[in-house]
Structures are given as structure tokens and as C-alpha cells.
């Protein structure tokens, strides 16, 4: 019997998932950094990138958000759960022991209704041999899950920091545009008043007065809508940072910040020429790779359950029986192996192994997708950054030119050599050009933030987790 059992066990081998290669990133980036970007520097420079903005309020807001964010707290809780699961998986390598104790007092006809006292205590131990590596694979899977949860914590902090920065830059852009449209509304109010005076004395047609009033209403409407957008951005910052709105608005007005209407400017950073070096510093890709390792180990766990298991069982105990002033003591023990062979549930075990292999294939596809998405995110950020920097000078020239043309047209209109229509057209062009210039500035800063997010924010595999 034993030689037959040995031959059966030797013939059982746990298969491993197929090692199909992952798609490799390109040899170089198709879009490059702007010419004025520095060469790649130490990782520490990228880690402290937020403090290199010319606005000290931004890193403060990011710190506040990371300290109170529910998403970061959820990631930390998942990390704690994964570490607890790792401890439980490691405990499966050791024998389990249980202490059982019992005490009773009874009487019956056989004992002539005299009290019978029974006391007993036993220790039962079980140790299952890890013949096919099921326990080892389980520990490997739990370790990979714990690693992935730690990386997800880093990813949550990085995503939150980038989101806070993007919303903050958007708020400052909104404030700048709100100031522009508010000044326009104020200017338009004086223009409408002057036009009505000209209509009253017969220097302007009533239609021109109606046009001036309509332009004033439109300017006030635009100013109200723009201010509402700024208020919404403040609400978003309140949500992200967890601060009271009054305290946050006080922070936004403090002298240390850039102040309302001025966009914070980031410090350029370098980018490695090889995509593989950049992508290796993304915590989300590292987490996806650890999830793939966990899925591969879980295939081994499912396969190991299809084969026989051998356990060693042991028990030792003692008891005392007391009756009619006398007592009897007894000590018992037992030890021996036991064999469990799945018979009628083999189809279910096979289906579970196939499901585990399918989950492994799914994790491979997820990793492939994230790898492609990471390359796309870096490339898109580079394209947007390059385009915004090339457009910014032209947008500034256009805004300045249209502003000067509007000032000249308004001066001519006040002297009576230009019509209200001429002034209105010049005003709209100047306003649109100024809004476009602010939009390009915002796109440039947002592109730097997106690029920072796409290259991993300075994370390295050596960075500790809580």
C-alpha cells in the first residue's frame, strides 16, 4: 500500500500558469520633453516637486488632503487587511493545537442516584503536510496581495496629490478669468451709462443704446457664471482637503500664497529616455504586477487541492471519575497519520483550478492594459506640454494686441469717430483673447502635473509603506 501511495504522490505535479511574455514598451518616447527641460536628476527632486512650486500653499493643501482623505484611509485599511491575511496564511505552516476541558456532575439509577463527578482535559493537535505546495503557494499569494495593497496606498496618495494640484491650479485660473470679466462688466457699465446719455441728447441712435444695455447684461451674466465656477472649485478643495470652508478661504487669501488670480508655476524636471525606466517607477504598474504574481500562486493553491492530503493527528488527555468517595484516573493518548483523497468532488476542484487559471489570465490582461495606458499617459502629457509651451507666447501676443486695439477703439468711440458696434467687436475679441491666454497657461501647468502623475511622482520600489 505504501509503495503504491508513494508512486501516486510522485506522479502528481502542480502545473504552473503559462509564461506568455508581456508587451514591452517602445525603445524611446515618440514625444520628447521641451528643449528647456533639465536632464533627469535624482529621484528625491521629483519626490519634493510640490515644494518647488512658487506657491507654498499648494504643498500645504496636499498634506492636509492626504492626512484626512477617506480614499487614502481605505487604502491603508486594505493594507492592514492584507497583512493580517498574510499572517494567517503563514500560520497554516504550523501545527494547530486545541485544548479541551470538561466537568460534569450527574446521578442515575446505575449509580444508585449517588453523585458522579467527571473531570477531563485533552490536547488535540493536527499538522497537515504541504505535499503539493498548497500552503506555500498560499503564503506567496498573501505576500503578493500585501505588497499590492501597499503599492495601492502609494498610488492613492499620488493620485490625490495630483488631483488637489489640478483643482488648485484650476481655481487660480478661474479667479484670474473672473477678475477679467468683472473688470469688463464694470467697464461696460460705464459705457452703457455714457451711451444712454448720448442717446438722450441725440448723439447716438436708440438702437445703439439697446446694444450697450444688452452688452452690459451679457457681461454681468458672464461674471456671475465665472464666479460660480470659482465657488465650485473651492467646494471641491473643501471636499479633497477636509478643511472647513471658512478656514480654507482664509488660507487661499493668505499672503504666503500666490494670491487670487495668479497661477502657481512648477519647476521643470527631467525624464529618462528609456520608457522602461520610467514605467518601473509607477506604483500602479508595480501593484498590477504583484496582483499577477498573487493570481499565479492562487493557481497553485487550487491545483494542490485536487490531490490527496496527509495529516498527522495527535491527542493526549486525562480524566478523573469520582463516585461514592472513591476516584479513578485515566490517561489517554493517540498519534497517527490520516489520508484524505477527494473522490466525488473532483469535478468541483477541477473547476476551481480552471477558474483560478482564468483569473490569472485576467490579471495578465489587466497588466497589459495598464502598461499600454501608462505609455499613452506619458506620451499625451508630453504632447500637451510641448504644445502649450509653444502656444503660450503667441497667445500672450494675441491677448496684448487685441487689448491695445480695444483701448484704441474705445478712445475713438468716445471721440465719436467709431461706432458702438466697432467698440463691441473689439471688446469681445480682447476678452476672448485674454481668456484663451489664461487657458493656455493653465494647460501648461496641468500638463506638468499630468506628466508628474504619469511618471510615478518620484516613487521607487525602495520607498517604505506604513
| Res 4: pLDDT | 33
Per the CB < 8 A criterion, the answer to whether 158 and 459 are in contact is yes
Across residues 436-461, what is the average pLDDT?
92
Residue 354 has pLDDT above 60, yes or no: yes
Separation CA 285–CA 375 (nearest Å): 11
Encode pLDDT of 164-189 as tens digits: 999 999 999 999 999 999 988 988 88
Contacts of 375 (CB under 8 A, 6+ apart): 25, 26, 275, 279
Contacts of 21 (CB under 8 A, 6+ apart): none
Residue range(s) occupied by CATH 2.20.200 in the chain: 94-129+310-341
Nearest to 159 by CA among 75, 228, 100: 75
| Res 447: pLDDT | 94
Q: How confident is the model at residue 5 (pLDDT cuts 50, 70, 90)?
A: very low
Q: How confident is the model at residue 3 (pLDDT cuts 50, 70, 90)?
A: very low
Across residues 28-41, what is the average pLDDT?
68
Which comes out higher in pLDDT, residue 429 or 341? 429
Look up cell 476541558; give the residue.
Answer: 101
Indicate the DSSP class of residue 266.
P
Which comes out higher in pLDDT, residue 399 or 32? 399
Look up cell 491575511; give the residue.
Answer: 85
Encode pLDDT of 200-220 as tens digits: 888 888 888 898 889 889 989
| Res 6: pLDDT | 37
Across residues 402-418, what is the average pLDDT?
90
Per the CB < 8 A criterion, the answer to whether 44 and 118 are in contact is no
| Res 109: pLDDT | 58
| Res 41: pLDDT | 60
Look up cell 477617506; give the residue.
Answer: 70
| Res 38: pLDDT | 62
Separation CA 311–CA 116 (nearest Å): 37
Residue 8 has pLDDT above 50, yes or no: no
Q: Which residues of 372-381 are buried (b: 16+ CB within 10 A; e: fewer)?
A: eebbebbbeb
Per the CB < 8 A criterion, the answer to whether 173 and 441 are in contact is yes
Across residues 248-259, what is the average pLDDT?
75
Which comes out higher in pLDDT, residue 7 or 391? 391
Residue 2 has pLDDT above 50, yes or no: no
Residues comprising the chain, all counted: 466
| Res 236: pLDDT | 96
Per the CB < 8 A criterion, the answer to whether 333 and 317 are in contact is yes
Residue 295 has pLDDT above 60, yes or no: yes
Architecture of 94-129+310-341 per CATH? Single Sheet (2.20)
| Res 310: pLDDT | 85
Residue 256 has pLDDT above 80, yes or no: no
Residue 35 has pLDDT above 80, yes or no: no
Residue range(s) occupied by CATH 1.20.1600.10 in the chain: 22-93+130-307+342-454
* Share of residues in the chain with pLDDT > 90 (%): 47
Residue 159 has pLDDT above 80, yes or no: yes
Across residues 257-274, what is the average pLDDT?
77
Per the CB < 8 A criterion, the answer to whether 132 and 307 are in contact is yes
Encode pLDDT of 68-121 as tens digits: 999 999 999 999 999 999 999 988 888 888 989 888 877 665 555 667 778 888
Cell of 434: 485674454
Per the CB < 8 A criterion, the answer to whether 309 and 131 are in contact is yes
Torsion of CA 77, 83, 85, 88, to 10 degrees: -140
Helices (H) and strands (E) in the chain, counts: 11, 4
Separation CA 37–CA 188 (nearest Å): 43
Q: How confident is the model at residue 434 (pLDDT cuts 50, 70, 90)?
A: very high
Query: Which of these ranges, 77-81, 223-227, 322-326, 354-358, has the smallest mean pLDDT?
Result: 322-326
| Res 414: pLDDT | 84
| Res 269: pLDDT | 84
CATH for the stretch 22-93+130-307+342-454: 1.20.1600.10
Indicate the DSSP class of residue 40.
P
Per the CB < 8 A criterion, the answer to whether 116 and 319 are in contact is no
Nearest to 269 by CA among 17, 113, 40: 40
Separation CA 143–CA 163 (nearest Å): 30
| Res 101: pLDDT | 87
Work out the mean pLDDT of the chain and round it to a whole number: 85
Across residues 11-28, what is the average pLDDT?
60
Separation CA 171–CA 233 (nearest Å): 6
H/E segment holding residue 225: helix 206-241
- Secondary structure of 319-379 as H, E, C letters: EEEEECCEEEEEEEEEEEEEEECCCCCHHHHHHHHHHHHHHHHHHHHHHHHHHHHHHHHHH
Per the CB < 8 A criterion, the answer to whether 304 and 14 are in contact is yes
Residue 144 has pLDDT above 50, yes or no: yes
Indicate the DSSP class of residue 309.
E
Query: Which of these ranges, 293-307, 324-338, 354-368, has the smallest mean pLDDT?
Result: 324-338
| Res 289: pLDDT | 92
Per the CB < 8 A criterion, the answer to whether 290 and 144 are in contact is yes
Residue 275 has pLDDT above 90, yes or no: no
* Share of residues in the chain with pLDDT > 70 (%): 88
| Res 1: pLDDT | 37
Interhelix angle 420-454/134-201, rounded to 10 degrees, is 170
Residue 226 has pLDDT above 60, yes or no: yes
Residue 255 has pLDDT above 70, yes or no: no
Across residues 36-51, what is the average pLDDT?
70
Indicate the DSSP class of residue 274.
S
| Res 199: pLDDT | 85
Amino acid at each position: 500500500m505504501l509503495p503504491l501511495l508513494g508512486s501516486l504522490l510522485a506522479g502528481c505535479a502542480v502545473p504552473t500558469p503559462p509564461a506568455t511574455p508581456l508587451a514591452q514598451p517602445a525603445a524611446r518616447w515618440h514625444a520628447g520633453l521641451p528643449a528647456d527641460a533639465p536632464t533627469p536628476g535624482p529621484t528625491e527632486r521629483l519626490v519634493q516637486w510640490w515644494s518647488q512650486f512658487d506657491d507654498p500653499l499648494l504643498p500645504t493643501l496636499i498634506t492636509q488632503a492626504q492626512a484626512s482623505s477617506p480614499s487614502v484611509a481605505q487604502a491603508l485599511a486594505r493594507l492592514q487587511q492584507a497583512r493580517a491575511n498574510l499572517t494567517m496564511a503563514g500560520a497554516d505552516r504550523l501545527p494547530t493545537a486545541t485544548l479541551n476541558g470538561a466537568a460534569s456532575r450527574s446521578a442515575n439509577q446505575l449509580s444508585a442516584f449517588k453523585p458522579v463527578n467527571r473531570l477531563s482535559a485533552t490536547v488535540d493537535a493536527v499538522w497537515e503536510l504541504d505535499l503539493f505546495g498548497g500552503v506555500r503557494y498560499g503564503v506567496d499569494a498573501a505576500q503578493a496581495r500585501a505588497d499590492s495593497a501597499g503599492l495601492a496606498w502609494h498610488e492613492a496618495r499620488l493620485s490625490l496629490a495630483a488631483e488637489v494640484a489640478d483643482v488648485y491650479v484650476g481655481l487660480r485660473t478661474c479667479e484670474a478669468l473672473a477678475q477679467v470679466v468683472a473688470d469688463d462688466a464694470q467697464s461696460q457699465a460705464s459705457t452703457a451709462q455714457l451711451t444712454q446719455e448720448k442717446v438722450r441728447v441725440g448723439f447716438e441712435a436708440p438702437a445703439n443704446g439697446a446694444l450697450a444695455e444688452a452688452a452690459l447684461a451679457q457681461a454681468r451674466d458672464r461674471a456671475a457664471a465665472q464666479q460660480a465656477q470659482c465657488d465650485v472649485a473651492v467646494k471641491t478643495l473643501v471636499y479633497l482637503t477636509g478643511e472647513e470652508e471658512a478656514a480654507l478661504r482664509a488660507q487661499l487669501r493668505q499672503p504666503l500664497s500666490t494670491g487670487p488670480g495668479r497661477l502657481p508655476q512648477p519647476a521643470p524636471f527631467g525624464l529618462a529616455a528609456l520608457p522602461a525606466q520610467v514605467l518601473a517607477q509607477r506604483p500602479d504598474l508595480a501593484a498590477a504586477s504583484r496582483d499577477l504574481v498573487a493570481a499565479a500562486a492562487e493557481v497553485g493553491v487550487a491545483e494542490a487541492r485536487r490531490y490527496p492530503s496527509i495529516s498527522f493527528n495527535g491527542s493526549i488527555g486525562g480524566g478523573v471519575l469520582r463516585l461514592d468517595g472513591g476516584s479513578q484516573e485515566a490517561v489517554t493518548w493517540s498519534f497517527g497519520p490520516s489520508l484524505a483523497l477527494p473522490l466525488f468532488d473532483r469535478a468541483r476542484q477541477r473547476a476551481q483550478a480552471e477558474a483560478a487559471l482564468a483569473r490569472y489570465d485576467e490579471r495578465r490582461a489587466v497588466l497589459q492594459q495598464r502598461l499600454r495606458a501608462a505609455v499613452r499617459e506619458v506620451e499625451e502629457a508630453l504632447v500637451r506640454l510641448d504644445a502649450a509651451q509653444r502656444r503660450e507666447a503667441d497667445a500672450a501676443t494675441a491677448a496684448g494686441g487685441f487689448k491695445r486695439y480695444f483701448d484704441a477703439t474705445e478712445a475713438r468711440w468716445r471721440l465719436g469717430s467709431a461706432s458702438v458696434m466697432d467698440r463691441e467687436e473689439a471688446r469681445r475679441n480682447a476678452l476672448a483673447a485674454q481668456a484663451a491666454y489664461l487657458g493656455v497657461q493653465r494647460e501648461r501647468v496641468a500638463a506638468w502635473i499630468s506628466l508628474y502623475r504619469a511618471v510615478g511622482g518620484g516613487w521607487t520600489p525602495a520607498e517604505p509603506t506604513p
